[in-house]
């Protein structure tokens, strides 16, 4: 593989990962856009110019604040009067007390479940848990993916072979299977070890860590791809000649140049993580009752869809909102980090004629594949989460085996 | 040039027309047919089942799923069936059985003339003999770990009762079958045929597949063998092993076998068609005249797993009869569908709270105190009432309300003391102690989670410190009986008919006695129970045992699960049944409404 | 090339070995296979537990059991596969066969449709980046993607099946409903279309009038009960299609291509009546042959019209012929609709919520075709909705990237028409990365759509897989895993080869 990609490095022009470095030389518009700005500033500017991403960010921040302030987190108390596991007398059969005219929230704005727990409290707790799982998955998968990818991409040789074959093995196992088995293991409480003790009180954290152990593979492949091209660049040689250690080169010189891929992919992993958590709870291997998560709430209440719709709609609404906002943030980040993506207007482009926008020469779709064909493949698949993540199990009758004949 | 090309094109076109007419449908130019197979004299109905059918022998350990048993029940007939008040009803037109002696217990089965399989072979006592041989494990001499010796027939039922018999006698005309027990057996009535009461495996087919001439040859082969003895293992009998292997797996199929002998019927219906994992079609057995004639010409069974999908199929007219897993939402939705009748009732499974007879609950006063804090009425109100407005807490450890002795037993068994939560009395009994109680339950079962939440909240009021010991669905079962918890919430299934289950749960040291309940008087009563063949005496003993269990502060039963069946206005005659036969128990009474 | 493939295959085999070891052990360790007996009060629970332990060979540690399984699986190379049996005693190979058929029936159509619609939407949104249409499509794609599919499925069944069937019983559309639908569609058309406010208003108004009118006519003629296209609609639609196809394939200035397309339409309409008796006897094979003949006729027409660019005319003719043929077939299906509708088994409720066909339906080609359609329509819609997001987004970004390329600018500079720029220069290159996505998706196709299978009670691969996991039964899980992994690895390789074939800058060695 190594031979092949080195040869291809020659056939294809070098990739443009750092927008700032590539842009000034090429064209007219981008120069105006990015003149005198650092990479971070460019990205920030582009990101905040993306209205979808901005709205997504605001919505997500609001949900985050609402969820964590209302129910409290850890030692911090929340302002909402009920806890998610507190049983209160049923008010009006659990129908939401929220009214528009006259406007009032009432005692249970989102309603209550059948034994009288407050649904607003449960939804907020669920949103907390879902967000926590999502962030932990993002961090764990991000760290493992970056480390594995950069080691493999930088050192090549047997390190690469071992790490990438390991990645291959994990990547062909269906995500849902691995996740189901992992969370099944994370849910185990019967052995009296320190781990079981820890898991009993921090089930969500353990679930997040275990799922993070599964979802890092796509990122590792992408990071490796970036490293393969960046390590051949002059600034790396310069650093090496001036005596920088491998560690320093990897984390100080190369990684900052690959940060766009990491951030964008990390966001997408997170948005698929929240759906994965939903699917796992649907399968009964996610977060366990009496604790709760958004996925667990909608799967517990899916039969109430027609009869007590509020039990289903509120948590469902929050899942959709979180997922949508994360997806838009990811979309905005991708546009912001990707120098090749800019406003394109067919009309303008036509009239512009020979002017046109400047793009670093090698920023063709073939830039990554030119390194290794497999890399493109994974970069493509990793971006949008597998639809499998929606997978779930039937609510089958528990007693398939029954009467004797 | 051009002309040549055109002529070539014409040639190709001609060839194409020929080819097309060759691959046209046979049978002339009938316009699309509009007649289905419905709308005949008896009509048809579609029943929904959760699981998919996979074998024509539902007696084996692997084949004994609900759907296989139901199909077996619809296509076979026997000496009796169980009705929806859980009573045994005799099928005198099929045959007759009677207890001819009490000591030793002897039962004589007589078959009527004219009862035959759908291939024309008469049903004989040899068929009963095969049923006996399979469900008694009579010939097995396998060691308990299964490593040595031979296990012939696989059986899902409990072989203990039938195992204690002599080799049966069959009359020379093959019409009577006499079984003599070496030990009295309380459940002798349902020993041959189980809950369905059917004789469902044709001995002549098994014999042929084993290379024998007919059913009698198989019987003679078995007659020549000795009873298996695990302590004195014999080499396996090859022919019987072959027959048993065929019995165990030869009937397994998901598609209609080309060999019709694999799905012989001796009951009201025969199988006509099967689509793997999708559907199955039964049509009326024309020969059947040894029982009630079924009304419907055709029954289609479709497999649908999830309850919402079942409800929508019923609503959309794709199904006529469904029995989804009950929840208050399911029931409300069903009731809202126009033209659908909803039958509700109890199921035979019930949830209960068991207290361990060791650990912090070893003291009887502490157990009693805990039982006094359990808000049984509240649990029923919140979990069950929405489904069944008349639901009440279950008050017996042995009976369910569908059984006649329940009301009587409840009066005297001591459950009256636990009707109301009594925190003050519980505090008195605790006398200032604050025991820490770890409650184990299945976290994946919402009913149990909710019951736990309510129990924990109330017990804390009396001073108990409650620890959430809930486990996931793959772990809680393993933890049962292993300790590590002090109280547990889970479910049992009442068999409805028969008493063998009672000692299994409550007798000292028995397999399902997870909380180490031990009461010498109760043990003695249970030993007596399993050897009592008279039903009224059985009930008497059971009532006494019920009282002893409550008296020992065993724990409390909580509620019975709710079952629901619904059917559209295109069919009539569907009646609720609490046991595992479900809607099928009276399928011959189903009729299409015109 | 050959060395590359061989090396890839060897790596794949090793990966498969490692992954299968992992999956087997994970499955075996994931739960308690005896759970259902643990809390059983059946008197013989202990015996049953014993039997189950023996069946699953629980005495042997899982890693060793894996090698036993591997021994059986290795037999696949020798021609007799032994992948073990599931708990019900059915051989896994047999169960796999049945599950595969069910899954493929369910997902094939949906995948093709999702690809077509997704790629088309992606291109349109890319061409009109940051327009209302772009935002709308992006939002909807993400929204559908975020929705739990069981919820979508329940809604579809409630309104798409039960509601629509109720409507079919009395297919009258009140004038108010028709106006309402017309207004909604008109507004959408106005927002989506491009141009000045005035132009948008005109387009919106035309669409509104057209939709309302069509709905009312359909209501008055009871079209939904007795549908059909008739010769007139086929002719009008055919002419429209001829123009459309010509615009896309050749451009209207290529008159001969246009004439070829129009001639094809005329031939198709002329053949309408003579074909009916033959169609009444249709079989699947005959339809395939007819399709081939139809396309051949179209190509031939294009050939005879000739012109400076014969191939364009042939392409236009062939595509038009195919679409017109499809219309005639659709018309024939519609003719069978009333008969299907009144069938005793269908009972006037054609759209089904479960399964893949009506049990015991004995019908001709057309009615059984309708039966398949009515059963697959809802799961297909559900699957298309959730998988639309990925195709739309990929195509959009890939297309945007290509549209910014220098060679596109060059093409424009030398005066190539916009049609040519988009269809010939941009679209083809944008398809290169998409082709890998598609190849990979096809590889994952047989993994099935677990929830969709459950909700529409299709016992396919996903169901088998989950059932195996929930019973802690490694054999079916391994069976499904093998199938999925092998196809995934295979299509991975195919994707790479396609890539190198399409993009000469990428070489495989």
**CA–CA distance, C319 with C327 (Å, rounded to integer):** 12
Helix (H, G, I), strand (E, B) or coil at B542: helix
Asked if B279 has any chain C CB less than 8 Å from its own CB, the reply is yes
- Residue of B7, B317, B514, B517 to mutate, interface with C, max C Cβ within 10 Å: B317
- What the block records as the tokens of B9 is 């094109």
Check if the beta carbon of residue C444 is closer than 8 Å to that of residue A380.
Answer: no
Of the candidates B159, B477, B491, the beta carbon closest to that of C44 is on B159
CA distance A215 to B504: 47
B144 part of contact set with chain C, CB < 8 Å: yes
Q: Please judge whether A184 and B332 are an interchain contact, meaning their C-beta atoms are less than 8 angstroms apart.
A: no
Q: Express as a percent the part of chain B with pLDDT over 90.
A: 30
Contact (CB<8Å) C506/A305: no
Question: Does A290 sit behind a cis peptide bond, omega within 30 degrees of 0 on the bond before it?
Answer: yes
- Which among C36, C408, C496 has CB closest to A374? C496
Q: Which of C87, C342, C454 sits opposite B34 (nearest CB)?
A: C342
A181 CA to centre of own chain: 20
How far is residue B379's CA from residue B388's CA, in Å, rounded to a whole number? 13
C:129-168 residues touching chain A, CB 8 A cutoff: 129-130, 135, 138-139, 142-143, 145-151, 154, 158
Residue A361: pLDDT over 60:
no
- Does C48 contact B156 at a Cβ distance shorter than 8 Å? yes
Q: Taking residues A360-373, report their average pLDDT.
A: 34
Hey, what are B68's tokens?
């296989």
pLDDT for the residue B106: 92
Report the candidate in B317, B426, B314 with the shortest Cα–Cα distance to residue B366. B426
The answer to whether the Cβ–Cβ distance between C32 and B477 falls below 8 Å is yes
Q: What's residue A353's pLDDT?
A: 42
Coarse DSSP helix, strand, coil percentages of chain B, rounded to the nearest 5 percent: 35, 20, 45
Using alpha carbons, select from C29, C35, C33 the residue that is nearest to residue A178: C29
More confident residue, C492 or A28: C492
Instruction: Kindly give, in sequence order, each residue whose CB lies less than 8 Å from that of residue A284, ignoring residues fewer than 6 positions away.
Output: A299, A393, B444, B472, B473
Name the region of A88 (left: φ>0; alpha: ψ -120 to 50; beta: rest): beta
Please indicate whether, in this complex, the C-beta atoms of A173 and C485 are within 8 angstroms of each other: yes
Tokens, residue B27: 């049978």
Residue to test with chain B: of C44, C283, C287, most B Cβ within 10 A: C44
Dmax (CA) for chain C in angstroms is: 88
How far apart (Å, rounded) are the C-alpha atoms in residues C95 and C473? 14
Closest approach of chain A CAs to the CA of C108, in angstroms?
15
Please tell me the distance from the alpha carbon of residue C349 to that of residue C345, in angstroms, as a whole number. Answer: 9
pLDDT in tens, B450-480: 889 889 988 988 889 988 888 776 677 777 7
Q: Is C109's pLDDT higher than 80? A: yes
Distance CA B18, CA C401 (A): 52
Cross-chain residue pair C48–B159, CB shorter than 8 Å: no
To probe the interface with A, which of B266, B329, B500 has the most A CB atoms within 10 Å? Answer: B329
Q: Is B352 on the interface with C (CB under 8 A)?
A: no
Rounded CA gap, A173 and B356, in Å?
Answer: 43
B125 backbone dihedrals φ, ψ, rounded to 5°:
-65, -20
Kindly state whether A114 is in contact with chain B, defined as any CB-CB distance less than 8 angstroms.
yes
Q: How far off is chain A from C311, nearest CA to CA, in Å?
A: 28
For the segment B8-31, the average pLDDT, to the nearest whole number, is 46
Task: State the Cα–Cα distance between residues B26 and C275, nearest whole angstrom.
Answer: 17
Query: Which pLDDT score, from 0 to 100, does residue A173 have?
Result: 77
Tell me which of A116 and C477 has the higher pLDDT.
C477
The pLDDT tens digits of the residues spanning A234-261 come to: 888 899 899 888 888 888 888 888 887 7
- DSSP string spanning B18-36? HHHHHTSPSS--PPPP---
Question: Would you call C360 and B300 a contact, using CB atoms and an 8 Å cutoff?
Answer: yes
List chain A residues with CB under 8 Å of B64.
Answer: 401-405
Choose the closest CB to A365 out of C150, C413, C433. C433
Instruction: Indicate the Cα dihedral angle A307, A99, A107, A310, nearest 10°.
Output: 20
Give the H or E element holding residue C487.
helix C474-502
pLDDT attached to residue A255? 86
CA distance B549 to B360: 19
Task: Report whether C75 contacts C91 (CB < 8 A).
Answer: no
Q: Does C245 touch chain B (CB under 8 A)?
A: no
φ, ψ at B346 (rounded to 5°): -85, 160
Query: What is the structure's pLDDT at C295?
Result: 94
Q: Does A347 touch chain B (CB under 8 A)?
A: no
Q: What is the mean pLDDT of chain A?
A: 70
Confidence class for position A337, pLDDT limits 50, 70, 90: confident
Number of residues written out for chain A: 405
CA distances from C435 to B206, B280, C439, C441 (A): 56, 42, 6, 10
Distance in angstroms (rounded) separating the CA atoms of residues C301 and C298: 5
**Structure confidence at residue B71 as a pLDDT band (50, 70, 90):** very high
The CA R_g of chain C, rounded to the nearest whole Å, is 27
Nearest to B39 among C282, C344, C354 (CB): C344
Question: Quick check: B154 and C46 CB within 8 A?
Answer: no
Please write the tens of the pLDDT for every residue from C23-53.
Answer: 888 888 777 777 767 766 666 677 777 777 7
Q: Give the model's pLDDT for residue A21.
A: 38
Using the beta-carbon criterion (under 8 Å), do A189 and B475 form an inter-chain contact? yes
The pLDDT, as a whole number, for residue A270 is 86
Closest approach of C347 to chain A, Cα-based (Å): 26
Q: Is B474–C30 a contact, with Cβ atoms under 8 angstroms apart?
A: yes
Give the whole-number percent of chain C exceeding pLDDT 70: 96
Assess whether pLDDT exceeds 60 at residue A387.
Answer: no
pLDDT at A6 over 50: no
Instruction: With CB atoms and an 8 Å threshold, state whether A328 touches C142.
Output: yes
> C339 by DSSP, 3-state: which?
helix
Residue B566 dihedral angles phi and psi, to the nearest 5°? -140, 145
Predicted local confidence at residue C275, as pLDDT: 87
Residue A344 has pLDDT above 60, yes or no: no
**Residue A391 with chain C: CB contacts under 8 Å:** 449-451, 462, 466
Is the pLDDT at A197 greater than 80, yes or no? no
Cα(C7)–Cα(A144) distance, integer angstroms: 28
Residue A195, pLDDT score: 62
With a CB-CB cutoff of 8 Å, which residues 29-88 of chain C face chain B?
30-32, 34-48, 50-52, 54-55, 87-88
Radius of gyration (C-alpha) of chain A in whole angstroms: 25
Write the CB contacts of A348 (distance below 8 Å, at least 6 apart in sequence). Answer: none
Q: What is the DSSP string of C421-432?
A: IIIIIIHHHHHH
Interface of C with B in 326-365 (CB under 8 A): 335-336, 339-340, 342-347, 349, 351-357, 359-365
Could you tell me whether strands B487-493 and B436-441 are parallel, antiparallel, or unpaired per DSSP bridges?
parallel
CB contact under 8 A, B329 and A304: yes
Neighbours of B417 (CB within 10 A): 13
Chains contacting B (3+ CB pairs below 8 angstroms): A, C
The confidence band for A338, taking pLDDT boundaries of 50, 70 and 90, is low
ipTM over 0.85: no
Residue C263 confidence class, pLDDT cut points 50, 70, 90: very high
Chain A residues with beta carbon closer than 8 angstroms to that of C484? 174
Whether residue C102 and residue B277 make contact (CB cut-off 8 A), yes or no, is yes
Q: Which of B3, B36, B191, B481 to mutate to test the interface with C (most CBs of C within 10 A)?
A: B36
Residue indicated by tokens 């046109």: A356
What confidence tier does A377 reach under pLDDT thresholds 50, 70, 90? very low
C310-339 pLDDT, tens digit each: 888 898 999 999 999 999 999 999 999 988
Position C453 confidence tier, pLDDT thresholds 50, 70, 90: confident
What pLDDT, on the 0 to 100 scale, is given for residue C508? 58
Which residues of A fall within a CB distance of 8 Å from C162?
Answer: none
Judge: B309–C455 Cβ closer than 8 Å, yes or no. yes
* Per-residue model confidence (pLDDT) at position A47: 82
Dump pLDDT digits (tens) for A259-289: 877 887 888 788 888 878 877 777 667 777 6
Among A180, A357, A373, beta carbon nearest to C506? A373
Which residues of chain B have a CB within 8 Å of the CB of A189? Answer: 471-472, 475
Q: Which of C154, C398, C470 sits opposite A393 (nearest CB)?
A: C470
């Amino acid at each position: 593989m190594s031979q092949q990609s080195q040869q291809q490095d020659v056939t294809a022009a070098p990739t443009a990962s750092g927008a700032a470095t590539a842009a000034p030389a090429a064209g007219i518009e981008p120069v105006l856009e990015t003149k005198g700005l650092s990479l971070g500033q460019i990205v920030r500017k582009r990101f905040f110019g993306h209205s979808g991403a901005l709205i997504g960010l605001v919505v997500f921040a609001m949900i985050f604040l609402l969820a964590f302030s209302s129910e409290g987190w850890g030692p911090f108390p929340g302002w909402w009067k009920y806890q998610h596991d507190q049983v209160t007398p049923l008010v009006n059969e659990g129908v939401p007390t929220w009214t528009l005219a006259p406007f009032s929230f009432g005692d249970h704005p989102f309603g209550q479940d059948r034994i009288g727990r407050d649904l607003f409290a449960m939804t907020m707790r669920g949103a907390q848990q879902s967000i926590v799982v999502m962030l932990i998955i993002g961090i764990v998968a991000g760290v493992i993916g970056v480390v594995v990818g950069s080691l493999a991409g930088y050192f090549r040789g047997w390190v690469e072979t071992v790490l990438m074959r390991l990645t291959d093995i994990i990547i062909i196992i269906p995500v849902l299977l691995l996740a189901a088995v992992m969370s099944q293991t994370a849910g185990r409480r019967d052995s009296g070890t320190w781990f079981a003790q820890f898991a009993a009180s921090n089930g969500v954290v353990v679930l997040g860590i275990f799922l993070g152990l599964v979802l890092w593979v796509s990122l590792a492949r992408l990071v490796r791809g970036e490293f393969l091209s960046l390590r051949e660049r002059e600034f790396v040689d310069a650093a090496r000649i001036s005596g920088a250690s491998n560690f320093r080169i990897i984390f100080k010189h190369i990684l900052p140049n690959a940060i766009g891929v990491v951030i964008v992919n990390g966001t997408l992993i997170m948005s698929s993580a929240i759906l994965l958590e939903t699917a796992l709870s649907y399968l009964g291997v996610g977060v366990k009752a009496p604790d709760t998560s958004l996925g667990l709430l909608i799967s517990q209440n899916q039969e109430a869809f027609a009869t007590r719709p509020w039990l289903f709609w509120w948590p469902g609404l929050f899942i959709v909102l979180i997922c949508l906002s994360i997806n838009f943030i990811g979309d905005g980040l991708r546009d912001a980090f990707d120098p090749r993506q800019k406003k394109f207007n067919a009309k303008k482009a036509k009239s512009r004629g020979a002017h046109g926008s400047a793009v670093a020469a090698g920023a063709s779709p073939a830039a990554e594949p030119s390194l290794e064909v497999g890399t493109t493949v994974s970069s493509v698949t990793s971006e949008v989460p597998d639809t499998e993540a929606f997978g779930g199990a039937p609510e089958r009758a528990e007693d398939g085996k029954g009467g004797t004949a | 040039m051009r002309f040549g090309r055109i002529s070539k094109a014409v040639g190709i076109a001609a060839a194409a027309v020929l080819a097309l007419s060759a691959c046209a449908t046979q049978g002339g130019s009938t316009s699309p047919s509009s007649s289905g197979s419905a709308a005949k004299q008896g009509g048809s109905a579609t029943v929904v089942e959760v699981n998919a059918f996979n074998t024509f022998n539902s007696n084996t350990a692997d084949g004994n799923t609900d759907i296989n048993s139901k199909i077996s029940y619809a296509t076979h007939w026997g000496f009796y069936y169980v009705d929806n008040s859980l009573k045994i009803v005799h099928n005198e037109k099929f045959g007759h059985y009677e207890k001819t002696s009490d000591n030793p217990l002897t039962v004589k089965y007589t078959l009527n003339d004219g009862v035959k399989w759908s291939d024309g072979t008469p049903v004989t006592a040899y068929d009963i003999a095969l049923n006996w041989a399979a469900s008694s494990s009579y010939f097995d001499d396998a060691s308990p770990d299964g490593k040595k010796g031979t296990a012939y027939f696989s059986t899902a039922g409990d072989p203990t009762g039938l195992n204690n018999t002599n080799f049966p006698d069959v009359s020379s005309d093959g019409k009577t079958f006499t079984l003599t027990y070496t030990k009295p057996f309380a459940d002798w009535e349902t020993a041959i045929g189980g809950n369905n009461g059917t004789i469902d495996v044709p001995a002549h087919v098994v014999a042929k597949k084993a290379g024998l001439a007919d059913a009698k040859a198989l019987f003679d082969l078995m007659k020549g063998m000795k009873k298996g003895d695990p302590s004195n293992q014999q080499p396996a009998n090859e022919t019987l092993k072959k027959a048993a292997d065929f019995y165990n797996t030869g009937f397994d199929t998901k598609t209609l076998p080309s060999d019709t002998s694999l799905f012989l019927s001796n009951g009201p219906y025969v199988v006509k068609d099967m689509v793997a994992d999708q559907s199955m079609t039964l049509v009326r057995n024309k020969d059947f005249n040894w029982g009630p004639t079924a009304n419907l010409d055709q029954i289609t069974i479709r497999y649908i797993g999830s309850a919402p999908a079942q409800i929508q199929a019923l609503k959309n007219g794709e199904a006529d009869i469904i029995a989804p897993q009950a929840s208050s939402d399911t029931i409300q939705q069903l009731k809202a569908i126009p033209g659908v009748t909803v039958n509700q009732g109890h199921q035979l499974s019930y949830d209960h709270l068991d207290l361990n007879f060791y650990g912090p609950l070893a003291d009887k006063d502490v157990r009693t105190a805990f039982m006094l804090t359990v808000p049984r009425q509240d649990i029923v109100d919140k979990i069950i009432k929405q489904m069944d407005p008349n639901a009440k807490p279950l008050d017996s450890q042995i009976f369910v309300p569908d059984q006649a002795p329940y009301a009587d037993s409840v009066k005297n068994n001591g459950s009256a003391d636990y009707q109301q939560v009594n925190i003050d009395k519980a505090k008195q009994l605790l006398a200032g102690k604050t025991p820490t109680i770890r409650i184990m339950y299945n976290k994946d079962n919402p009913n149990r989670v909710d019951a736990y939440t309510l129990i924990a909240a109330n017990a804390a009021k009396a001073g108990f410190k409650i620890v959430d010991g809930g486990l996931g669905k793959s772990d809680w079962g393993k933890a049962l009986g292993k300790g590590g918890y002090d109280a547990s919430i889970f479910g049992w299934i009442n068999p409805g008919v028969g008493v063998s289950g009672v000692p299994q749960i409550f007798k000292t040291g028995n397999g399902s006695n997870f909380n180490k309940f031990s009461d010498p008087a109760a043990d003695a009563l249970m030993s007596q129970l399993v050897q009592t063949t008279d039903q009224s005496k059985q009930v008497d003993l059971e009532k006494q045992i019920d009282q002893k269990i409550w008296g020992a502060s065993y724990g409390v039963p909580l509620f019975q699960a709710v079952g629901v069946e619904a059917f559209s206005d295109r069919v009539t005659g569907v009646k609720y049944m609490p046991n595992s036969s479900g809607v099928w128990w009276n399928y011959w009474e189903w009729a299409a409404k015109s | 090339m050959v060395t590359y493939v061989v090396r890839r295959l060897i790596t794949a085999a090793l990966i498969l070995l490692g992954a299968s070891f992992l999956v087997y052990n994970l499955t075996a360790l994931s739960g308690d296979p005896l759970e259902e007996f643990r809390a059983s009060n059946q008197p013989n629970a202990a015996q049953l537990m014993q039997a189950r332990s023996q069946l699953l060979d629980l005495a042997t540690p899982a890693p060793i059991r894996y090698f036993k399984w591997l021994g059986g699986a290795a037999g696949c190379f020798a021609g007799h596969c032994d992948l073990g049996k599931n708990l019900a005693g059915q051989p896994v190979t047999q169960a796999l066969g049945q599950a595969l058929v069910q899954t493929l029936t369910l997902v094939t159509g949906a995948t093709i449709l999702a690809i077509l619609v997704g790629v088309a939407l992606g291109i349109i949104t890319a061409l009109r980046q940051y327009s209302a249409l772009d935002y709308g499509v992006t939002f909807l794609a993400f929204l559908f993607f975020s929705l739990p599919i069981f919820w979508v499925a329940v809604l579809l069944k409630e309104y798409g099946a039960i509601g629509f069937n109720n409507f079919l019983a009395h297919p009258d559309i009140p004038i108010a409903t028709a106006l309402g639908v017309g207004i909604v569609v008109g507004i959408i058309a106005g927002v989506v279309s491009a141009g000045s406010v005035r132009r948008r208003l005109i387009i919106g108004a035309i669409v509104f009038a057209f939709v309302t009118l069509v709905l009312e006519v359909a209501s008055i003629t009871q079209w939904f009960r007795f549908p059909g296209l008739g010769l007139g609609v086929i002719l009008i639609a055919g002419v429209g299609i001829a123009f459309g196809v010509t615009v896309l394939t050749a451009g209207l200035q290529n008159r001969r291509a246009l004439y070829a397309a129009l001639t094809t339409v005329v031939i198709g309409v002329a053949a309408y009546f003579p074909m009916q008796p033959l169609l009444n006897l249709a079989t699947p094979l005959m339809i395939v042959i007819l399709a081939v003949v139809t396309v051949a006729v179209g190509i031939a027409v294009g050939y005879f019209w000739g012109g400076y660019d014969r191939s364009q005319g042939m392409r236009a003719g062939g595509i038009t012929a195919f679409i017109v043929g499809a219309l005639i077939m659709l018309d024939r299906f519609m003719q069978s609709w009333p008969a299907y509708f009144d069938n005793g088994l269908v009972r006037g409720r054609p759209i089904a919520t479960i399964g893949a066909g009506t049990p015991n339906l004995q019908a001709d080609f057309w009615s059984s075709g309708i039966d398949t359609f009515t059963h697959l329509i809802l799961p297909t819609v559900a699957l298309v909705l959730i998988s639309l997001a990925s195709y739309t987004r990929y195509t959009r970004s890939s297309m945007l990237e290509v549209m910014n390329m220098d060679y596109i600018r060059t093409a424009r500079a030398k005066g190539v028409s916009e049609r040519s720029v988009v269809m010939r220069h941009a679209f083809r290159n944008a398809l290169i990365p998409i082709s890998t996505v598609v190849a990979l998706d096809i590889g994952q196709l047989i993994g099935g759509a677990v929830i969709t299978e459950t909700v529409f009670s299709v016992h396919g691969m996903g169901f088998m897989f989950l059932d195996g996991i929930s019973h802690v039964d490694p054999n079916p899980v391994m069976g499904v895993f093998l199938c999925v992994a092998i196809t995934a690895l295979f299509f991975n390789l195919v994707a790479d080869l396609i890539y190198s074939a399409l993009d000469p800058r990428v070489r495989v060695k």
